[in-house]
Structure 1
C-alpha cells in the first residue's frame, strides 16, 4: 500500500486512461456520440449519477434516448445542471430533441456549432441563464419545429436566419433582453414574414424597438398567437394585420404604439383576446362588431378620442362570450347602458378614471357571472339601489360618494379591490395525512416530493380568479396529457392564482409521482419537459399560451466528485493494479483533506494568509467565520426552497444556524466575486456598524472560492414588496411614517456616528427590510464607502440603481453623503405613491413635481397618491412630508438636508400625528392609535375636511 501511495498521479492517470480506452472499444454506443456526451459532462456539474461507463445507450443513461446506438434525444429538464453548452454538441449528428430547460445554472453563449445538428426538431432551453446573441447558425436547423428560448438573458437582435425555419411551429423568445427591430425579409435576407407555418410568435418582455413592419403579415400565414407585449415598439398598428385571419390572441400592450387602431381590425373574426393597453393610441375607439369570439378586451391607458359610451357599447351586444372588459383611462363619457351588464359571460368591468356620468343601473339586469364592477374616479351621480347584485362594486371618487347618507347605504365608496378566494385543488374524498419534512400531501392524500413550479399564462379568457371550474378543467387536462404520454404521475394540485405586473396569470403547480415518493431523474425531466411544451397541447380553452418556471431546481442534489469517483471505478474495473492505485490515491487525498480541514478549523483565516495578495487577516470582533460545510448544511445545500432573493451579485438564501438562529446568506456568484482585499474591507466595515435600524452582520465564509456574508434574517421582506402588495402587508400612513423614521435613523447613524462615517450608495426600497414589528432596517452594504476614501479620491465610478441616482453624482461621478439623501428622498416618494421610481417610462420625481400644488387639498397629488393612504381627504402631516421629500430630491446638493435634519423633521410629523417618536416602539403606538381611532372622525391637518371611518378603509 505504501508503494501505491507514493506512485505519482501522472502514472495513475495514464493507467486509468488505458483502461477507459480498452472499455470504449467494446462499447455499443456510437463512439463519436459517446465522446460528445463526455465533453458535455466535463462542461457540466450535477450530471445524473448513472452517467458512468462507456455505453450511454446500452446502460440507459438518465435523460438519454438512443435509436440504433445513436443518441436521438437529450431531455434533462430541471435537474440542477451547472455550466455551459460545449461546442462538441455538434457531433451528436442524429440528435432530434435537446431539452435542457429549467436549469438556471446553465449559462454562457449558445455555440454557433449548434447549427450542425441538421436533424434537430426541438430545441428547448427555456428557464436557463444563457446570454449573448442568438447565433445566426440557428437558421441552419431546417427541421426545427420548436425553438423555445424564453426566460434567459439573450441580447442582440433576433437573427434574420430564423426566417429560414420553414417547419417552425413555435418561436418563443419571451423574457430576454433582445433589441433591434422585428426582422422581415427584403428580397435578399430572410425574416419572420417567411414563417407562414408558424403558429406562435412569443416575443414579449424584451427591448424590441422600431415599428411593427406591415410586411410581417400575409394571407398565407397561419399565426394564432402574436405576443409582442412589454417592448419598446412605436408607430402605428399596421392595417395588414387583418390579413392573418387565423389570429386568436393579440398582445401589443405596454409599448409606445401611437396613431389610430385600424378600422378593419374587426375583420379578425377568430380573435379571442385583445390586449392594446398602455400605449399612446389615439383616434376613435374601434367598433368590435364582428369579433364575436372575443372573451378578453383591455384597451386601458390610451388617448382615444372622447367617446360616448351609449354609442360605443351597443357594438358589444353580440359579444356573448365576453368575460372581461377593461377600459381604464380611455376618455369614455356618458351614461353606461344597462345592456352592458346583461352579457351572459361577463365577469369583470373596469372603467375607472373616465368621465362616465349619470345613473348606474346594474340591478335591473346583469349576468350571473358578474364579479367586479370598478368605476372609480368617474362622474356618476346616481345608483339604482337593490339587492340583485351583491359582488364587488367600486365607486370611490365619484360625486355620488360625496353624499354621506348614500355612502352609508351603499358601502361602495371606499377604495377596494376584488376579493378572490385563493384556489387550492381539493382532496379527492380522502383525509389529509401528516407528512414528513420536505414532503407534502397530494390530492390523493399520499405524501411525496412533487415537482413544483409556476405556470405563467400569457393570456386567458377569464378574469374571475376564484372560479374553480377553470382550474378543475386544467387539472383534468394535465392529467390526461401525462397519461397519454405514459408518464408516472399520480395527481396534480393547482393553487394561488395571481396576476403579475405583465398581466400574466401565475398558477402554482405541484405534480406528484405515481407509486413512489420521488420522481427518478428520467421521469422528472420528462414530466417537466412536457409542462414546458404545453403550447403544443390543447390543454384548456380557458388558458392561453404558457411557460413554466421550476421552484425546486435542487430536487436532485448530486455530488459531482462522487460521480467522478464512480466513473473512474467502473473504467478501471478490468485492471486490478489500476484499481489499487486509485484506492491508494483516494486514501492519500482523503488524508490530506482531513489534515487541511483540521488546519482550517484551527485557523479560519488561513485562506487569507496563504494568498500573498490578500493581505493580513480581517480585523474584526463579534463576527464569526463560517466554514463552507456549515453554510451548505444550514441552507439545505443551497436548495431552491431556501432561496429568497437574487440580484447582480448572486443569490440570497435563508437558513438556520446550529444554534437555531435564522440567518440570511448572501452568496456571490462567480462572475461578481470581489478581490480578497475588497471582500476583507467590506467585512471589516460591516463588523463596526451596529444600530437597530441597520441589518446586522453575523458572519462570513471565505472558502473554496466562495464569498458569502451571513446577516440576521428579517422576516417581512422588503419595503418594495409591501408597497406593491406582494407581501400581503398593508401599510397605513402612520406605519409609513415609522418606516421613514427608522430608515432615516439608520442612515443618519452611518453618516454621522459610524467610525469611520460611511456613505451607503445604494439606498432604495428593496434595500429597506421590515421585521416582525414592521420596524425598518437598512440593508445591503455592498457599495458602501467610508467618507475618508472619498476624500482621498479612491472612489469615483458611478454605481447604484437607476431611478435613485443623485443627478449631480451621475453627471460629475463624485458623490458624498447628500447622494444618499437624494436616494432616500426617492424612497419617500415611493411611500407616498406606492409606485416604482421609474414606471411606464415616467420618473416619480418629475411626476410629483409637475402634479404638486401645496395650495390644494392633498397637495394636489390625488391622482398619484397610493390609495391605501386615503383619498377625498387630507392626511395629518402630509404637507410636511411632501415638502421634506422634495427637499431631499433637490437637484442642488447644498439645498438638501442632512440625514440628521431629516430625522428631526419626521419626528415632528409623528408628533403632529400624536405619537412619541422616541417611544421604544413607534409601530406599537401606531397600532394602538389605530385601534383608538376606529369608528371615530379623523380630522385632517391644515383643513376642515374630515371623513367617517367605516372599518374597511385600509389604515
Structure 2
C-alpha cells in the first residue's frame, strides 16, 4: 500500500496491537480484535492483499475515495461479520468476486465508480441482509441482471445505472418488497418492463431511461402509490399512457419522452396528482390537451413537443401559476393564442413553433415579465407585432419567423437589452430596418430576411459586436450601398444580403470579417471589383452572381481588365473539373495502396482540402514503432478515454514517453475525420505554454493517430475526483486555474485563427510534472476560419459543463467555454464533481447556488481537503468563488471574456494574501497513469 501523504505514519508493524493505528477500531478487551477499518479519502493506492480475509471480526471496511486498483480478492468472502463494504471511487479492475455472496450480514455494498467488468454474479442473491447495492458507473457488460437479485428481500436501494448491462429486467425484481429506489438507467437493457415492479409498494423512485426497452407501460405500475419519480424516457415503448397514473398522488416527476407512445393523454391524469414535471415529448400522441391537466396545481414544466396533438391552446392552462415552461412545438394545434396566456406570470420558456395557430398575437403576451425564450415560428399568425411584447425585457430569444405578420419593425425592439436571437424572417414586414437594432449589444443572431423591408441598411448594425451566428437580410427590397461599418462584425460567421436592390461596391472593410464562413450578395445591383480578400478566393461563384457590374479584382484575374463575373464561372468550372479529375485519380491510387501515411511533423500540408496549416518539425515515428511502444495498443497502456478515442502511453526506444491518441474506428466515418482534422488543424500551429503540444499525426489503413506531449500528472479531473484530491493545496489549485484561464484566453483572443474549444472540463486540463495546466483534447474544437468546422455534428461539451443556452440554441460561442471553465473553477473550490445527485440540483452550478442561497457564501462550501485554518486561503478562495459564479451566470452576456477572467484572477491574488504552502506533492508521489 502506497501512502504518499503519510496518513498512516502511525502504522508500525512492531506494535503489539494495531488498535491505536489511524483508521483502525477494535473490540473491547480482554480479546480485542479489529472490527472496523476506515481509510476513506486518504490518497492511498496499491492493491488489497488476500490476507484481508484474516480479519474475521471486521464489520466495516471503507476504502472509498482512494486509488486502489487490481482485483477485489476472493478472500473478502471470509469476512462473515461484515456489515458495510465501501470500495467506491477507486480503480478496481476485475469482476465482482462470487465470494461476496458469503457475506450474509452485509447491509451496504457500494462498488460504484470503479472499472469493474463482467457480469453481476448470481451469488449476490445470497446476501440476505443487504439493504443498499450501489454499482453504477462501472463497465458491467456480460449477461443480464441476475434473477437471484430478487432473493435479497431486505434491499432498499438498487443503483446499477450507467453501466453496459444487457438482457432483460428479471421478473424476480418484484420480490424486492422493501425497495425504495431502483435505477437501471443508461444501460442496454431490452425486452419489456416487468409488471412485477408494480408489487413493490414502497418504491419512491424508478429510473429506467435510456435503455432499449420495448412493449407497453405495465398498468401495474399505477399501483405504486408512493412513487414520486418515474422516468421511462429514451426507450422504444409503445401503446397508450396508462390512465391509472391519475391515482398516483405522490408522483411529482413523470418523464416518458422519446418513446413511441400513442393514443391520447389520459383526461384525468392530474385528478389526484401533485406533478411538478410532465414530459411526454417526442412520441406519437394524438387528441387534445385534456382540461384536467389544470388540476396539476404544482406543475412547473409541461413538455408535449413533437407529437401529433390537436385542438386549441387551453384557455385555463395559465391557471397553473407555477408554470415556468410550456413546450407545445411541432404538433397540430390550431386556433388563436388566447389572451389568457398573459396569466402565466411565472413563464420563462414558451415554445409553440410549427403548429397552425392563427389570428393575431394577443397583447397580453406583454404581461410575461419573466419570459426568456419565446418561439412561435412556423405558424399562421398575422396582423401587427404587438408592441406589448417588448415589455418582456428579460427576453433572450424572440422568434416570430415564418408567419404572416405585417407592418413595420417597431423601434420598441430596443427595449430588449438582453436579446441574443431576434428572428422575424419570412413574414410580410414593410418599412425600414430601425437603426436602434444596433443597440442590442448581446445579439448573436439577426434574422429578418424574407420580408418586404426597404430603405438602406443602417450603419448602426455594425455596432452589433456580439453578432456571431448570422445576419440575414436577404429577400427584401433593401437599397443603397452596403455600409462599411459591417466590417466591424469580427465574430460574424454568416452574412446574407442576397436578393435585394443593393448598389455600389462590396466594402473593403470586409477584410476584417475574420470569422466569416458564408457570404451571399447575389442578385443585387453591385458593381466594381471584388476586394482582394482571401475568403473570396474559396467561395462559390453563386454567392456573387446576378450582379452585372461586379468583377474580379486584378489579383483574382490575369487579365488587365477584370472580366465580368459570368465569364469567371466558365473559367472556374473548367479549372474545378480538371482538378477534380486529378484528385479522384490520387484518391483511387491511395485507396488501392495499403500503406501507412506518416506525417513526421515536418512543414507539410495536412490535407488535400486547400488547408495551408502546418505543424512544426520533429523526428518521425513509424506506425510499427508506436505499435511496439504501446504493446500493440494493449489495455495496460491506456491512460485515458474520451468521446473521440482512446489515449495510450507510448515509451519509445530512446526512452521518450509520448501520448498516442487513437481515434475510435467504430464511429461514423465523417465524424472521425472531423475530429481528426479538428485536432490537427487546431493544434498544428499553436505554441503556448498552457496548450498541450501536438507532435504529429499518422494515418495507417484507416487508423488515425495523434501524437502528443505526455503529461505525467494526468488530468485535473483525476486528481480532484480520483485518488489524489488531498494532494492539491490551494496554491497549486490556483496555479492550475490561472494557467487554464491563460490557455483558454489565448484560444479566444490571440490565436490565429481564434478557437472555441467546446469541451472544457477538468478531464481535459492536463498537468505536467510541475502541475502546470495544459488545455487539451480539441476533438470538438470549432476553428472559426475553417469552413468544415461547421459540419461537425458532435454535441458540444460534456454533461455538467454545458452552458444552459446550448439546450435551445444548439450554437456554440466562446461564452459556452467560459461557462464550462466556471464549472472547473467550482470543482477546484468545492472538490465536488460537475454532476450532482438530482435531489441536490443535478449539477454543480445549481448545487453551489442553492447552498449559497440557504447558507450564504462562506467557508462551509469550500473543499475540506484544503487548509481552511489559514484565513488568507479562505479569503482568496471566496474571491475566486465570486469569479466562478460570474463565469457560470445563466445569461451568456453576463459572463466576462476570458481575457478579463485572467485579469480578475490575477487581481484576486493581490487583494488577498495567500500564505505559502508546501509543494503540491512530494517527489516520491506515484505518477498518474493518465494523459
TM-score by length of 2: 0.43
TM-score normalised by L of structure 1 = 0.42
